[in-house]
Structure 1
Amino acid sequence: MTEQTGARRPDPSTVAQFLGMGLVWGASFLFMKVALDGTTPLQVAWTRLMLGALALGAVMLITRSRLPRSAAMWGHFVAVGFLGCAAPYTLFAWAEQHVSSGIASVYNATTPLMTVLVVTLALRVERLTRDQVVGVVVGLAGVVVLSAPWRLAGEGAVDEIAGQLACLGAALCYGLTFGYLRRFVTGRGVPAVTTAFLQIACGALVMLLLTPWVVTSPVELTPAIVGSLVVLGVLGTGIVYIWYIHVLLRWGPTATSTVTYITPVVGVALGVLVLGERLGWHEPAGAALVLLGILLAQGRLRRRRAVPPEPAAAVAAPGRGLR
């Protein structure tokens, strides 16, 4: 099915929300880095999920959205809340103790590649095409360049490797979540706003179980840390999901997914400009390969192939030439 022409109309409100998504989600890695100056990774993940659930819960009340009655559907959302929220948020926060916020944002951009691998190899929802295979290989080569294993030696090398692996683990969690949602949730009649709320709220419920470990760790709050946690939770984990839904409904999934190309640029730029993070040659080179791999895996850079002329009857056949 093709997207409606009107869905791509570049009205100012939708464009602003799309750019806001890229800015806030890209800046979330900066906010995590700042918050870690006075909190633990578990506290960062706990706080952002609680605040995000409260923000989306308020939207649910205002819009009078309904919750699903199926016990099986609630079970699916608990799984999604852990896999798509609690686990990756904690992994990224932990990783940023050992890697820069810019590096973490680029690893986050590998999510589409992880999604391709999950839906084709693990869940077997789709089959890999030749372009997707090339895209995955190019993207993984970008990850190798980004990690720069040739420079990881001496003190701190093990921690940095662990941090990068944690980032990849978080991206894999996102990929598994998209595949899980597609297989068990999408198409079951759950509204988009409800889906967003339940994903965050169930993630918050999972984190509630870890509250004894959260409250026992010391906390040192400053205005910058509090502000980072509030923006990260209310905006980045809450309200932006509403923007995402609006853009998705107006533009469709293909155009909306291009936000993937904005977030790492924002993340790296803020890391350099605000936090003074140093940028080596391998980081933009690796990021470029990752984005190229995503473009190939998503079929945005298909090679033109010479097509032999077909008989007139074949050309006129319904559906030919539309792939």
Structure 2
Amino acid sequence: MKATASQRAMFVFICFVWGTTWLAMKLGIATVAPGVFAGSRWAVAGIILLSIRRFRGQRVLPPPRLWPRLLFVSVLLVTLNQIIQLYGLKHITAGLAAVISSALTPIALLCFAVGLGQERFNRRQVGAIVLGVSGVFVLFGPDALAGRLDVWELFGAAGVTIGCLCYCAGSVMTRPMMRTLEPVQLAGLTDLVGGVVLLASSLAVEPGAWASMRFDWGWPSFLAWLYLLIPGSLLSTTMYFLLVRDWGASRPGTYAFISPVIAVVIGALLFNEKLEWANGLGMALMLSGAFFALSKGAAVPAAAPAPQRLTAIALAE
């Protein structure tokens, strides 16, 4: 199917916006407590989605039997994913965080789907995992062997990785729930529940959380919050699912190889984020692994990357 001009424009928009969301998050958490910055955004996103359903006369609340599972997957998808990733982001560049997330997401989705009996491995998928792991060793192995490893950078990369794994596990665990809940309903509920749990936890234990609730963030952080909510979540995810509908799952998924490059380039040009040849090689290997995981013949569930999540399917219906 030949792409129309509007479809190409939507794809370019997605690649650019999702290539800059990590930079917006890094900008926001520089002055705002990460739990408040993320929790408030996801709670608002959930309220928007559920309000749309209510306005259309559609059901909002799930059956009582699903509440325990809903709470569990919401904490995985939003609460743990966001707080662990954002604290990790404090110690690595936005470009590296974007590469880790984009490369790891399709591979981790596959592994969890296989572990839960939803899919099976094939040789292509094994090769994807080998490439991804090789990229991690290229990124951190030389410094580790030479005794120059930056422990805080390693901590940051581990945080982004663990947060991404929480998201992927939660994503796979939501699939059985879609036999009862509509995708829009499930997205709104997980956003709202996960966001509220994150916000409440932040106010209970996170340093600076109550001060952040005064919302005197300064215009850069506030604009970053709005950017993550509206273009980063609502608009881009709507466009993504429109493309999945019109193009199929694999073609729109190639954003995963373009948006990290945008993040790296913008980070280097505007924020002086370092990029050495070994970093570039490691990133290339990780993205190659993602390519094989997403390419035809490797069945991986379609999913938006962790920072955006599936928050705007309602707008595409």
Q: Same fold (TM over 0.5)?
A: yes
Point out the more displaced range, 284-293 or 259-268: 259-268
State the partner residue of 1:72.
65
Point out the more displaced range, 29-38 or 9-18: 9-18
Shift of 1:300: 4.1
Say whether residues 1:248 and 2:244 are aligned partners: yes
Q: Identity over the aligned pairs, expressed in percent?
A: 25
Amino acid at match of 1:102: G
State the partner residue of 1:193.
184
Point out the more displaced range, 138-147 or 102-111: 138-147
Task: Pick the aligned partner of 1:283 from 279, 302, 312.
Answer: 279
Using a 3 Å threshold, how does the CA distance of structure 1 residues 195 and 216 change in structure 2: closer, same or farther?
closer
Distance 1:87 1:42 in 2: 10
Shift of 1:94: 0.5
Number of equivalenced pairs: 292
Shift of 1:152: 8.6
Shift of 1:269: 1.9
User: Are the counterparts in 2 of residues 52 and 235 from structure 1 also a CA contact under 8 Å?
Assistant: no
Shift of 1:101: 0.7
Shift of 1:11: 3.1
Distance 1:206 1:292 in 2: 36
| Structure-to-structure mapping, 1:78-97, within 5 angstroms | 78-97=71-90
User: Are the counterparts in 1 of residues 74 and 194 from structure 2 also a CA contact under 8 Å?
Assistant: yes
| Structure-to-structure mapping, 1:30-69, within 5 angstroms | 30-67=23-60, 69=62
State the partner residue of 1:308.
none
Using a 3 Å threshold, how does the CA distance of structure 1 residues 153 and 271 change in structure 2: closer, same or farther?
farther
Secondary structure at 2:7 match in 1? helix
State the partner residue of 2:137.
144
Shift of 1:148: 4.5
Point out the more displaced range, 83-92 or 206-215: 206-215
Say whether residues 1:209 and 2:200 are aligned partners: yes
Amino acid at match of 1:117: C
Point out the more displaced range, 211-220 or 77-86: 211-220
Q: TM-score, normalised by structure 1?
A: 0.80
Task: Pick the aligned partner of 1:129 from 106, 122, 126.
Answer: 122
User: Are the counterparts in 1 of residues 131 and 289 from structure 2 also a CA contact under 8 Å?
Assistant: yes
CA radius of gyration, larger in: 1
Shift of 1:154: 7.7
Distance 1:196 1:69 in 2: 12
State the partner residue of 2:112.
118
State the partner residue of 1:310.
none
Task: Pick the aligned partner of 2:291 from 289, 292, 295.
Answer: 295
Task: Pick the aligned partner of 1:268 from 264, 272, 279.
Answer: 264
Using a 3 Å threshold, how does the CA distance of structure 1 residues 13 and 162 change in structure 2: closer, same or farther?
same
Point out the more displaced range, 286-295 or 196-205: 196-205
Amino acid at match of 2:122: T
Distance 2:136 2:290 in 1: 12
Between structures 1 and 2, the one with greater helix share: 2
Using a 3 Å threshold, how does the CA distance of structure 1 residues 273 and 152 change in structure 2: closer, same or farther?
farther
Unaligned stretches of 5+ residues in structure 1: 1-7, 303-323
Using a 3 Å threshold, how does the CA distance of structure 1 residues 29 and 153 change in structure 2: closer, same or farther?
farther
Secondary structure at 2:120 match in 1? coil
Shift of 1:155: 9.0
Deviations 1:156-204 (A, max 9, x none): 822111111111101211221232123x234x15333323322312212
User: Are the counterparts in 1 of residues 250 and 295 from structure 2 also a CA contact under 8 Å?
Assistant: no
State the partner residue of 1:235.
231
Amino acid at match of 2:76: L
Using a 3 Å threshold, how does the CA distance of structure 1 residues 253 and 181 change in structure 2: closer, same or farther?
farther
Using a 3 Å threshold, how does the CA distance of structure 1 residues 258 and 77 change in structure 2: closer, same or farther?
farther
Shift of 1:40: 2.1
Shift of 1:100: 0.7
Distance 1:155 1:298 in 2: 34
Using a 3 Å threshold, how does the CA distance of structure 1 residues 69 and 81 change in structure 2: closer, same or farther?
closer
Q: TM-score, normalised by structure 2?
A: 0.81
Amino acid at match of 1:222: G
Secondary structure at 1:124 match in 2? coil
Secondary structure at 1:254 match in 2? coil
State the partner residue of 1:307.
none
Using a 3 Å threshold, how does the CA distance of structure 1 residues 250 and 257 change in structure 2: closer, same or farther?
same
Distance 1:193 1:13 in 2: 24
Over the residues paired in the alignment, what is the CA RMSD in angstroms? Answer: 2.7
Unaligned stretches of 5+ residues in structure 2: 299-317
Runs of 4+ in 1 over 6 A off after TM superposition: 152-156
Distance 2:235 2:52 in 1: 9
